[in-house]
Amino acid sequence: MLKRSASQMRNSKCNRILVSVNVVGSTGPIRFVANKDDLVCEVMKTTLTSYARLARLPNLGTNVDNFVLYCVNDGMDALSLREAIGAKQVRHFLLCKKEGTSRASLPKENGKNNWKTWLTKSLLTTYNIIAR
């Protein structure tokens, strides 16, 4: 077994950070440990897969190209997908959908009562699943 000195152990541990990502429309942040050298696209992919695994609503999908990651404390500039997550020295982020992406879970605007039909169908489906 290889013995490490205390300074080597401290140096290996400081490369990791606890990342907290708030998703717009979700109930709370998703937290996980990431390396400072991880790319923003990898952190976004981890966030989206964790979000889907926890079955949170609304359903977002896992395509990273449809989302933008912002630093909570650092203005309104989006992070580049090829940037290291530790470059900004921030741990709290905000994940937003890009403008112009379609929302597949909502009904199309063909008639005036589509949202009522969609709501009724989703409630009936939920009720049928619970009743079984």
* Span 60-71, pLDDT tens digits: 888 999 999 999
Give alpha helix (H) positions in the chain: 6-13, 40-53, 114-131
Bridge-based pairing of strands 92-97 and 16-23 is parallel
Phi and psi angles of residue 62, each rounded to the nearest 5 degrees, phi first: -125, 15
Structural Rg of the chain based on CA atoms = 20
Q: Is the pLDDT of residue 77 over 60?
A: yes
Burial 74-96 (b: 16+ CB within 10 A, else e): eeeebbebeebbbeeebbbbbbe
Distances from the Cα of 39 to the Cα of 1, 6, 23, 61, 89, angstroms: 32, 28, 18, 20, 14
Could you tell me which residue, 36 or 114, shows the higher pLDDT?
36
Residue-wise pLDDT tens digits, 11-61: 555 799 999 999 998 889 999 999 999 999 999 999 999 999 998 888 888
CATH class for the region spanning 9-100:
alpha beta
**Among residues 35, 32, 72, 37, which one has the least CA distance to residue 48?**
32
pLDDT category of residue 100 using cuts at 50, 70 and 90: confident
The model's pTM is 0.66
| Domain residue ranges of the chain, discontinuous segments joined by + | 9-100, 102-132
